A and B are shown apart, each in its own frame.
Chain A
Amino acid sequence: MQDKALYSAVQRSDEKALSTLFDKYFQDLCFYSFQIIKSKELSEEVVADVFIKIWNNRGKAVVLNLKNYLYKSVKNGSLQAIKDIKPRLCVDDSYRELHLLTIDIESHIMEKESLEHVIGIINKMPVQRRTVFELNRINGLKYKEIAEVMNISVRTVQNQMIKAVQFMHENFSENSASL
């Protein structure tokens, strides 16, 4: 079902529709929040609060572009969370391993080394470039959507993507002898 139909069902107090939307976006939104907060628990909380807010405001507010709204709310919520907890914020120990995982069991075996290498390269990218690249490649957002969420121009998104691909190519080839 499309987001629009699901959202209007939520406005009619359909809990199941909220649940479906949650299933569709939860992991990707947490991942995005995690890039900002660097804490697994807090990112889950931020995302939960966004869905609770959508539910509680279902009679009062109308959201036009749901995906955009979700990402933006998660971004704002994450930034607010950082402000609130800054004095005690420390980077999660599990940060590196939690950050990216290989999903495909076959490639996990055959290409484990190459994939670990790729994760290492992505982790070395400057923050904005990495966020753009991951939003496109892992979360599946279009350039235009990334631009809206991150408040940057489509041109900047495109440039960062080109640089990310270049960065990957340079670092990958450098060590390709060992692969």
Chain B
Amino acid sequence: MDNKFRELATKYFSNETSSEEVHLLVDFLQSSDLYQKWFDELAHQWSLTGKLSHSNFNTVKTKAKIAEAIAISQKKNTVKKLIFRVAAMLILVLGIGGSINFFAFPSDHWVEYSTKSNQNMKVVLPDNSIVWLNSSSTFSYSFSDKSVRKIRLDGEAFFDVKRNTTRPFTIQTNHLFTQVLGTSFNIDSKEEQVSVISGKVAVTNKSNHTVLVEKGEQVNHNKTSEKLSKIIIPNIINTIAWKDQVFVFDDITIKEALKHLGKTYSVNFTYSNNNIEKCKIRASFNNKSLKNILNIMCTSIGCTYIINKENKEIKIFGKGC
């Protein structure tokens, strides 16, 4: 490849070209298809590197350290600062990014976390309960009341709650109120759905209808009838596959399995033939890429697939069962 062309393309990608250089680059591209081909390859690789990041450093721990140093240097240990320092030391965030209101606490002591459309976040609360926040979700907590642990949620989250019989853990979403003592469960406020992975939880809606939900069960809220309905979900672990990409398909239909995959990876599946949906599968996958999972599934039921990246649709071809 031509040195001058390489220089121009590099500067162009990193936004360092003058307008004359842009003209020169265009001349190159118009002069031969080979330059155009090289340019496309370089542009593709450049855009791939733009999808890399590094946010894995502990913001909250470091912030707490700075806050403490500042507080000490000011020698004015007001009550507010003391509370702030204690809270700062108690909270530990392991997830990436998100926005955290930390240095300045809101007066009612709610601490809020939110994720963007391409992030998940893990938060360890002061009582050592753990919250995994799915993408495009917001959650906040207030532990200032000694008799109850209060959470608000908009979006989807999985909770692993530390048991404390004297201080219930409550989650308020738009329509549902969930109360637990110590257990693990998933709440999806968009679907208005609570799925219990272990233990027992009580879910109440706005018309005061309450149901007890146990391990392996899911409760759904029907907006029109204002009723809660409970169903048993086989392999309920799949409802939290968005958290760590672990799927357990124990003799379920392809239709069911692809529903879980579609939700976790935000893709839609279509079939060339409805008989494919009926095939059954028994397999488990631990943190494999979607392509990898599809390859294995297709080998076992004899199908092929085509990925349409633009509208995130995957079409499955095959005879079916």
Contact = CB atoms under 8 A, between A and B. Distances in A.
Nearest to B54: A31
Contacts of B162: none
Contacts, number: 157
B10 A165 contact: yes
A94 B53 CA distance: 16
- Enumerate the 10 nearest inter-chain pairs by beta-carbon distance, A residue then B residue, closest first: A19-B103, A103-B53, A30-B57, A31-B54, A112-B289, A109-B290, A52-B69, A165-B10, A27-B55, A162-B10
A174 interface: no
B79 interface: no
Interface residues of A, number: 56
A98 B42 CA distance: 26
Interface stretch (B43-51, B172-180, B183-191, B297-305): B43-51
A106 B314 CA distance: 13
Contact of A103 (B7, B51, B57): B51
Interface string A15-32: 110110011001100110
Given A31-B54, A106-B312, A115-B51, 11 more contacts: A40-B58, A52-B66, A103-B55, A106-B265, A110-B290, A113-B291, A143-B14, A158-B7, A164-B10, A169-B1, A169-B42
A118 interface: yes
Contacts of B70: 15, 18, 52, 55
A138 B66 contact: no
B266 A101 contact: no
Contact of A27 (B57, B99, B291, B312): B57
5 contacts: A30-B57, A31-B57, A52-B70, A161-B10, A164-B10
B56 interface: yes
A158 B102 CA distance: 40
Contacts of B55: 27, 101, 103
Interface of A: 15-16, 18-19, 22-23, 26-27, 30-31, 34, 40, 43-45, 47-48, 51-52, 55-56, 98-107, 109-115, 118-119, 122, 136-138, 142-143, 158, 161-162, 164-166, 168-169, 172-173
B103 A16 contact: yes
B260 interface: no
A168 B44 CA distance: 11
A151 to B, nearest CB: 19
A113 to B, nearest CB: 7
Chain A interface mostly helix, strand, loop or mixed? Answer: helix
Contact of A44 (B46, B61, B103, B267): B61
Given A113-B289, A136-B14, A162-B10, A27 B59 contact: yes
A106 B73 contact: no
B118 interface: yes
Contact of B103 (A15, A40, A114, A158): A15
Contacts of A168: 42, 45, 49
Interface string B279-316: 00000000001110000000000000001010010000
A105 B53 contact: no
